[in-house]
Amino acid sequence: MDFLNQIHELLSSQWPWWMGGISIGLTLFLLLYFGKEFGLSANLRTMCAADGAGDYSDFFNFDWQSQGWNLMVALGAMFGGYMAATYFSPGHHAHISQETVVALNEISADVPGSSLTYGNIPIVPAPTAENADLPKFWNLYSWDSLFTLRGLIIIVGGGFLIGFGSRYAGGCTSGHAISGIADLQLPSLIAVVSFFIGGLIMTYFFLPYILQIHI
């Protein structure tokens, strides 16, 4: 029992970045070993096809049932997120740097009482039982937020860009940044550089202003 407690404590502590190599490497290894690929955005195409999108475009006319394994990976990822969030994340903090906290507080400077404190940043911008004192400014991932213009842009707009962009580019962060670059594919490197160009454009030119919308 003591041993199990120690494991629980270890898993509940903050994970260093190099665990990424182990976790992503293990995921990639197992999927290749099973004769599959690592790429989660392909599920969006499968889900469209399963809903009958093949009637509208040949892009969705494929044997989507052969992709059921990938939907199971997504289902497992949901369950993994649930377990990690529910049992292994005391405090639910994102351990971001002090400079980033300053930058976030600059965005919310015009709204009194919205500043975040270094060392007490919730893992995602949403109120939870542990972060009940989260300033309203940072309530983005919730149903309340969805019914504001700001939340609509972030949740519906962001989802649309991810779904459209990942299929247009032929892959996402798992398909290109990991699988594609690990296979030394030049198109994947171009795609990942483009992900960053798009991300930087959004972060510097749009995101601060979108966050400041308060309707």
Partner 1 sequence: MKFFKYIMVGFLFGFGAYKMEMISFFRIYEMFLFQSFHMYGIIISGIIIGIIITQLFKRGFVKTNHGDVKKFNPKAHTWPRYIIGGIIFGMGWALTGVCSGMMFVLMGSGYTVFAIFIASAMLGTFVYGLTRQYLPH
**In terms of CB distance, is 3 or 34 closer to partner 1?**
34
Q: Which of 30, 20, 180, 11 is nearest to 85 (CA)?
A: 11
Q: Among residues 111 and 210, whose Cβ is nearest to partner 1?
A: 210
* CB 6, min distance to partner 1, A: 17
Q: How far is the CB of 3 from partner 1 (least distance, A)?
A: 20
Return the bridge partners of 122, or none: 93
Residue 120 beta carbon to partner 1: minimum distance, rounded to whole angstroms: 12
Q: Is 146 exposed, middle or buried (0-12, 13-18, 19+ CB in 10 A)?
A: middle
Calculate the alpha carbon distances from 89 to 2, 82, 84 in Å: 19, 10, 6
Compare residues 149 and 193 and give the one whose CB is closer to partner 1: 193
| 153/87 Cα distance (integer angstroms) | 32
| Residue with Cβ nearer partner 1 (196 or 214) | 196
Smallest distance from the beta carbon of 66 to partner 1, in angstroms? 13
